[in-house]
Amino acid sequence: MFRFIAFAWDAADQEQATGAHRLSRQVRDQYGSGSYILNCDGLVVHWVDARERSSEHYLLADHRGVVLGKLFKRESGGDFQSPECRLNAAATQSILANGGRGIITNYWGRYVAFLRDSSGNVVQVIRDPTGSLPCFMTTIAGIRVFFSYIHDCVRLGAQFTVNWDYVRVQLAANVNERLNGTGLNEVVPIHCGECVKLGPHGLQRQFYWNPFDVAGTQRCTDPMQASAELRQVVRTCVHAWASCYDTILHRLSGGIDSSIIAMCLASAPTRPQVTCFTHFSPGPDSDEREYARLVARRAGFELVEHPRRIETCLDLLAELVPHPHPFHARYAIDYSRYESHLARERSATAILSGEWGDPLFYSEPAHMLAAIDCAQQKGIGRALIRASLDTARIEGLSMWRVLRHAIAARSDTPAAFDPRQQLPAGHGCLTEETALAAARDDRFVHPWLRTAARTTPGKMAQVYASTMVDFHPFYDPLGREDDPEQFAPLNSQPIVELCLRIPTFVLIDGGWDRAVARRAFLNDLPLQVATRRTKGGVEEYQKASLTHNAALARAYLLDGALASRGLLNRTALEEMLSGEPTRTRTPVGLLYWYLCTEAWLSQWDHA
C-alpha cells in the first residue's frame, strides 16, 4: 500500500530539527527496509510500498524536492503517453516554474509534490487537481507533518480528538462531500490543486488550480468538435493509465461510463490483460448483466458475474481503515473482500471503474439547469429553443414549460452555489437542532465555493459534483496492504478540464444525457449500450440487506454516539429500523451513511 509521511520545519531552528529527525527515525523503523527517504534541511519525506510504473517517486534535480505518485507529461496531440517520466534539470525547471505552478500546467496524474526553493528556506507542498492521492496536515511536537495514511501518525504517538461540529455538518451535507476540514480537530486537508508554502513568513495557502476558473474558459460549443476532443482525451488518459499495469480488473456495470473505459482498455497500445466483473441482484434495475455481456464480448474480455448477497454482515464496519473523516463505505462492505480475492486469483494489480462519468459527462446534475445556462449565455433565440427541447426530452416535460422557466431565470443574478440546495429531500433522521446548526455553520464550506467565479447554475452544479464530492477513495476502507490499487481513469485532469469547458446545453445535445460522450464512442460501444437511457441501481438490494442486518443496525444507531449526543432523532431511527411502513423520509443510503459515521467515531473512542 503506497503511502507517505513528511516533516517540514524551520531549518534555522535547531530544536525543531532535532525533533523532526527523531520522528524521522521512528518512521524509518516502522516502514522498514522497503522505504525511501528524501532528507534535506527543513524537509524529510518518507514513502513506502512504491509500485513500479504506477505509484513511484520522482526526484528533482539539485535536491529541489520529490514528487510522489504518478506523473504524465502533457503532450500536444498524440494518442498515447508513455508511463516513463524522468525529471532531469530541464524538467525540474519546468515544474518549479512560476512558483511551482509548472507541475500543474506541464504535467498531470496522481501526485503530491514536495518542493524546495533554491535557498532551501521555503518548502512547498502541492496536491494534484484531481486529489486522487490523499494528503493531510497535522502538527506533532511542533513539527508540521504531511501524510496520506493517518495510522502512520497514530504510530508516532499523535493524539486526535473528534471535531463534533464537523461531524454535524457532514451528516447534513452531501455524502462524501469534500469540506474545508476533517472530523479530527488536529487534522486539516490539503485540497485538490492547493499549494501549502512554509517559510520565513509562516504558513501560506494558495490554490494553483480552481475548477471555476477552468469552467470560465468555455470553448467547445460545437457538439461534433466536443465529441472529437472528448474521444481523444479519454482514450489518451485511459491508455496512459493502462500502461502502468500488466493485469487489470475492471468494474463493468454495463452503463455508459464503465463501458467507455472497457472499450478504451481494449484499444490500449500496451495490451494489458483485462478481466471485467459485474455485480448483480434481483430487482427492476439491479441486474445489468445483459449490457455488461455485450460490452465484454465487444472488447474481447472475460466477464465474471458476481451475485450480491444480502447476508453481507455489517460486522465489517468494525474493520474499517482509520481515516481523518467519516467515509461512506457501503460499497466496500459489500464488495471489497470479493474484489480483492478476485484480483489475487487473476494476479491483478489495479481495479478500474467508470466513476466520475455521471457529473463530468452530465448525467447527475439537474438537466433543467442546462436550459437556464443557455438562456443566460446565448439569450433568447434558436439555441435556447433547442436547449429547451433537449431538456424536455430528458426530463419528460413540455418544451414550453422548460422554455418559460429558462426565460424567467435568464435575468437572475448569479448566486453563490450552495450544495445544501442540491440535496434530496429526506434527511429525516437528523434532529431539527442538528439541521439548523449545520445550515448556519459555514466554517467547513469548501474554499472554492467562497471565491467561485459567478457562473451559470448548471455549470456550477457540474463543477461541484465533479470536483467536490469524493466518489473513490485511494485507500479501500476495508483494504489490506497488498491489495491492488483502485482508481477511476475519468478523474484525470485533462478529462476534467475538457468536460468543464463544454457548456451544459452542449453536453445534452439532441435530448440525451451524456450526449457528447455517447457520440464520441458511438462506433465503439454496442448500440444497445450507446443508446441506453436507463441506469442501474441498488436501492432494493440495500433495503433487503439492511433488513437482514436490522438487529446490528439498531444496536449501532439506537445506542450510538450520534443519537446520544442528539445529532440523530432516535424516534425517527426506531421507525426506520422497525421494518414497518413509516412516514419518515430517509433514503436507505443515508442510514448506511449514519452507520459508517458511527463506525468511524468508534475508531477514535468518541474523543
Do residues 258 and 140 both lie within one domain?
Answer: no
Give the CA radius of gyration of the chain.
24
pLDDT at 426: 46
Domain presence at residue 145 = yes
Last residue of a domain, one of 174, 208, 242: 208
Whole-model pTM: value is: 0.94
Could you tell me the three cell numbers for 540?
A: 432494493
Would residue 63 count as lying in a domain?
A: yes
Distance CA 520, CA 514 (A): 10
Residue 364: the pLDDT is 65
For residue 409, the SS3 value is helix
Asked whether residue 520 falls in the same domain as residue 590, the answer is: no
Reading phi first (left if > 0) and then psi (alpha if -120 to 50, else beta), residue 127 is in beta
DSSP 470: -
What is the secondary structure of 534-580 as a DSSP string? -----HHHHHHHHHHTHHHHHHHHHTSHHHHTTSB-HHHHHHHTSSS
Q: Are residues 247 and 200 in the same domain?
A: no
Contact 63, 86 (CB under 8 A): no
Does residue 49 form part of some domain?
yes
Strands 123-127 and 194-199, bridge-based pairing: antiparallel
- In 237-295, the DSSP E strands lie at 247-251, 273-280
CA atoms 523, 524, 525, 530: torsion sign: negative
Q: Are residues 242 and 321 in the same domain?
A: yes
245: CATH: 3.40.50.620
In this prediction, residue 424 carries a pLDDT of 45
* CATH code: domain of residue 121: 3.60.20.10
- Grid cell, residue 291, equals 449490457
3-state secondary structure 89-127: HHHHHHHHHHHHCHHHHHEEEEEEEEEECCCCCCEEEEE
Q: Which residues of the chain have pLDDT under 50?
A: 422-426, 607
37 by DSSP, 3-state: which?
Answer: strand
What is the distance between the alpha carbons of residues 479 and 332, in angstroms, rounded to a whole number? 9
Same domain, 486 and 577: no
The predicted structure's pLDDT at residue 365: 60
Give CA–CA dist 195/99, Å, rounded.
10
Q: Among all chains, which residue has been given the C-alpha cell 516513463?
A: 84
Residue 45 belongs to a domain: yes
Q: What is the reported pLDDT for 607? A: 47
Q: Residue 170: left (phi > 0), alpha (psi -120 to 50), or beta? A: alpha
In angstroms, the first-to-last Cα distance of the chain is: 28
Residue 341 and residue 482 in one domain? yes
Instruction: Identify residue 125 by its one-letter amino acid code.
Output: V
Q: How many CB atoms lie within 10 A of CB 28?
A: 15
The rounded distance, in Å, linking the Cα atoms of 495 and 504 is 15
Do 251 and 355 form a contact (C-beta atoms < 8 A)?
no
Answer whether 290's CB lies under 8 Å from 284's CB.
no
Instruction: With respect to residue 543, please indicate whether it lies within any of the assigned structural domains.
Output: no
pLDDT score at 480: 83
Amino acid at 456: T
User: Would you state the cell numbers that stand for residue 338, as one nine-digit string?
Assistant: 470479493
- Identify whether 198 is part of a domain: yes
pLDDT digits (tens, 9 = 90+) for 7-52: 999 888 899 999 999 999 999 998 887 788 899 999 999 999 999 8
Q: Are residues 264 and 318 in the same domain?
A: yes
Q: Which of 391, 389, 302 is nearest to 342 (CA)?
A: 302
Biggest alpha carbon–alpha carbon distance for the chain: 72
Phi and psi angles of residue 208, each rounded to the nearest 5 degrees, phi first = -95, -10
Pairing between strand 123-127 and 350-352? unpaired
Does 263 share its domain with 146?
no
What Å distances lie between residue 253 and 305, 314, 537, CA to CA?
A: 10, 24, 10
Residue type, 207: F
Burial (0-12, 13-18, 19+ Cβ within 10 Å), 539 = middle
Q: Is 369 domain-assigned?
A: no
Same domain, 187 and 246: no
CB 306 within 8 A of CB 278: yes
Is residue 35 domain-shared with residue 92, that is, in the same domain? yes
On whether the CB atoms of residues 264 and 238 are closer than 8 A, the answer is: yes
Q: Are 262 and 295 in contact (CB under 8 A)?
A: yes
Clarify whether residues 203 and 83 are in a common domain: yes
| Number of domains the chain contains | 3
Tell me the pLDDT tens digit for each residue of 406-458.
Answer: 999 887 766 556 665 544 444 668 898 888 888 888 899 999 988 776 788 99
CB 61 within 8 A of CB 67: no
SS3 584: coil
Please report where in the chains the cell 504517538 appears, as a residue. 157
Residues 540 and 284: beta-carbon distance below 8 Å: yes
The parent domain of residue 587 ranges over 549-603
Instruction: Tell whether 123 and 188 lie within a shared domain.
Output: yes
Structural domain contains residue 61: yes
d(CA 221, CA 489) in angstroms, rounded, equals 24
